[in-house]
Homo-oligomer: A and B are copies of this chain.
Amino acid sequence: RALARMGTELRCQCIATHSKFIPPKSIQDVKLTQSGPHCKNVEVIATLKDGREVCLEPTAPWVQLIIKAILAK
């Protein structure tokens, strides 16, 4: 799952990002966290409908499409 810990952390939460496409319908929610003093990276964490949490690559085109798809519904 490549998540260091949950919740509001004082450091980066993603150790690695999931590289394979995840169908939007299996996603429950997506949380975008800005970079800041706690972490130099933008972090995108998807919670899947089965409860798993996965880190996604913010710059991946499919990640941006999924976010667009959620907003467009």
Main secondary structure of the interface of A (DSSP, over half): mixed
Chain A residue total in the interface (Cβ 8 A): 21
Partner of A34, one of B28, B58, B63: B28
Do A70 and B32 touch across chains, with their CB atoms under 8 A apart? Answer: yes
Do B34 and A31 touch across chains, with their CB atoms under 8 A apart? Answer: no
CA distance A40 to B41 in the complex (A): 32
Instruction: Indicate if A73 sits at the interface (CB-CB under 8 A).
Output: yes
Interchain residue pairs A-B with the least CB separation, the first 6: A29-B33, A31-B31, A30-B32, A58-B71, A32-B70, A42-B73
Interface residues in chain A, defined as those with a beta carbon under 8 Å from any beta carbon in chain B: 24, 27-36, 42, 44, 58-59, 63-64, 67, 70-71, 73
